[in-house]
């Protein structure tokens, strides 16, 4: 933002008549401030050069260039400038060329800077009547995300893109992932994007998404943005699966209580690439009779870093005070050794009104085997465990500072 303001200041400094700066006005069109001027009646043009500033009569826009040619003096008035800088509200646009009429400004090979955003477009036109900016082949980076589109229209702070792409990988020529859509509506003020007809493009795959996706700073803060980028260290360069840079889209809804994580690990050049495709379920199975409690099953299974991965937990209340948990795990977190484990646990607890809490006990039995990630079939450590614990929780009533809770476990 400070750069934009500095440039704006420079533009204003040159856009006044001064000791060595002359002025020319074209009624109802522009005022031009320049060092040198030459008219050519036979070709119906005038040329300003040596540092030129052109401002609209109403001050809506300003163009600065080394050389500006005004054409069509006796016909249709026009303006041409190579390598201009256009100052339009909060936007600073530099370009390879500018052509203007009384109705519009057209710039080619433009770079765009605005409030907290910058980017470029192959062609950019400004409707001088509506101040609407139409761009083709636009790419724009903000502090939150990068967007692109084959056609883009900016009205105030509202940017609409056609054949749009959005990624949080900002400033990368080819982002490792991109959410593409038929259309994107970007609110530059709120820094949010609504993408319609979207699909995830990742590692050559094209995965359809929800009909409408909203990406905003709030969704970033709440981690609801479905993209996670992780960098798993690889000490000693052992080349463990999942090491290095990984990108995954998490929580893609594929059904009721079923979501999908997809992505890849080791997408950087120094590590092996592994596919991530994990289905996550969270199922509640009702009891066979009406008062019977439901059984809860959570599971994650699929491929993690290209290797099989399974994590299942089942919890079933046996009585109001006794519940059974069964769990099974087989797989490896990125960059870690593989672990295979099964566990059963019984938990008994009962409410105690005196302490406004519960007391209880639990016992469990588990069998665990560890295997090197580079050779999961080779078990390195194996063992069983049996354990137990007692616990108590107590809560106060509501106080001025809230509710206090205490839990002890042994």
Partner 1 sequence: MRRLVHHVTLALLLTGCLVTAGAQAPFAALSINSAGPQVMDITTGITTLPQGGSVVDRDTGVSFDAAHIRYLDGSFIEATGVTMDGAFGSLSADLVRIEMADSLLTASGNLRLHRDGLVVTATDLRYYALSNIAVFDGGVTGSEPSFSAERVLLDVISGDVLLVGGYSFTSGMFTLTSPTEGGTLELRLQEVDGVLVYDAATDVSPDLLRRFSAHF
Binding site for partner 1 (CB under 8 A): 17-27, 29, 34-42, 46, 73-74, 77
CB of 106 to partner 1, least distance (A): 22
* Closer of 23 and 375 to partner 1 (Cβ): 23
Residues near 6 by beta carbon (within 8 Å), at least 6 away in sequence? none
Considering beta carbons, is residue 26 or 303 the nearer one to partner 1?
26
Give the shortest CB-217-to-partner 1 separation in angstroms: 49
Min dist CB 18 to partner 1, Å, is: 6
3-state SS class at 268 = coil
- Measured from the CB atom, is 18 or 253 closer to partner 1? 18
Nearest CB to partner 1, comparing residues 34 and 61: 34
Phi, psi dihedrals of residue 221, rounded to the nearest 5°: -65, -35
Decide whether 47 or 304 has the Cβ nearer to partner 1.
47
Instruction: Sort 129 into a burial class: Cβ within 10 Å, 0-12 / 13-18 / 19+.
Output: exposed
**Residues pairing with 30 in the sheet:** 26, 56
Min separation Cβ 67 and partner 1, Å: 13
Q: 32, 54 in Cβ contact below 8 A?
A: yes
Whose tokens are 């009406």? That residue is: 290
Rounded to a whole number of angstroms, the minimum distance from the CB of residue 87 to partner 1 is: 22
Q: State the minimum distance, in angstroms, from the CB of residue 64 to partner 1.
A: 18
Closer residue to partner 1 (CB): 34 or 145: 34
Q: Which is nearer to partner 1, 20 or 174 (CB)?
A: 20
Provide the Cα torsion 133, 136, 140, 146; round to 10°. 130
SS3 labels along 75-89? CCCEEEEECCEEEEC
The residue written with tokens 């204003």 in the block is: 12
- Complex with partner 1: residue 16 or 384, whichever CB lies closer: 16
| Nearest distance from C-beta of residue 54 to partner 1, angstroms | 13
- State in angstroms the smallest separation of the CB of 39 from partner 1: 5
**Minimum separation from the CB atom of position 22 to partner 1 (A):** 5
User: β-pairing, 192-196 with 177-187?
Assistant: antiparallel
Q: CB within 8 A of 135, min separation 6: which ones?
A: 110, 112, 121, 123, 124, 125, 151, 152, 153, 154
Q: What are phi and psi of 7, to 5 degrees?
A: -65, -40
Q: How many CA atoms lie within 13 A of 292 on its CB side?
A: 11
Q: DSSP 3-state assignment of 2?
A: helix
Map residue 325 onto helix, strand or coil: strand
C-alpha–C-alpha distance, residues 288 and 109, integer Å: 69
Cβ distance to partner 1 smaller for residue 23 or 292: 23
């Amino acid at each position: 933002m400070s750069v934009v303001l500095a440039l704006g200041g420079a533009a204003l400094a040159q856009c006044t008549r001064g000791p060595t700066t002359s002025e020319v006005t074209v009624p109802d069109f522009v005022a031009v401030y320049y060092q040198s001027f030459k008219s050519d009646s036979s070709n119906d043009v005038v040329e300003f050069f040596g540092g030129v500033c052109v401002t609209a009569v109403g001050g809506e826009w300003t163009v600065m260039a080394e050389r500006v040619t005004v054409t069509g003096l006796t016909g249709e008035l026009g303006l041409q400038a190579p390598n201009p800088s256009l100052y339009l509200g909060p936007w600073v646009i530099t370009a390879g060329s500018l052509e203007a009429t009384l109705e519009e400004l057209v710039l080619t090979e433009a770079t765009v800077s605005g409030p907290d955003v910058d980017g470029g477009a192959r062609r950019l036109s400004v409707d001088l009547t509506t101040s609407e900016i139409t761009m083709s082949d636009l790419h724009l980076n903000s502090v939150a995300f990068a967007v692109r589109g084959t056609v883009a229209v900016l009205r105030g702070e509202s940017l609409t893109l056609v054949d749009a792409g959005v990624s949080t990988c900002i400033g990368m020529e080819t982002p490792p992932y991109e959410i593409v859509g038929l259309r994107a509506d970007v609110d530059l003020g709120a820094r949010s994007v609504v993408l319609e007809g979207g699909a995830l493009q990742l590692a050559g795959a094209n995965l359809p998404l929800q009909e409408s996706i909203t990406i905003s700073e709030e969704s970033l803060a709440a981690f609801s943005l479905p993209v996670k980028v992780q960098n798993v260290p690889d000490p000693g360069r052992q080349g463990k699966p999942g090491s290095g840079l990984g990108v995954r889209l998490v929580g893609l809804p594929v059904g009721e209580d079923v979501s999908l994580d997809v992505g890849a690990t080791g997408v950087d050049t120094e590590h092996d690439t592994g596919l991530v495709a994990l289905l996550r379920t969270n199922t509640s199975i009702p009891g066979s009779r009406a008062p019977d409690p439901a059984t809860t099953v959570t599971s994650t299974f699929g491929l993690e870093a290209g290797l099989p991965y399974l994590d299942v937990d089942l919890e079933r209340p046996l009585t109001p005070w006794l519940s059974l948990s069964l769990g099974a795990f087989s797989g490896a977190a990125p960059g870690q050794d593989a672990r295979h484990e099964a566990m059963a646990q019984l938990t008994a607890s009962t409410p105690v009104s005196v302490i406004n809490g519960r007391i209880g006990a639990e016992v469990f039995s588990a069998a665990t085997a560890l295997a090197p990630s580079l050779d999961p079939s080779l078990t390195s450590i194996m063992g069983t465990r049996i354990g137990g614990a007692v616990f108590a929780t107590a809560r106060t009533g509501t106080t001025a500072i809230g509710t206090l809770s205490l839990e002890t476990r042994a």
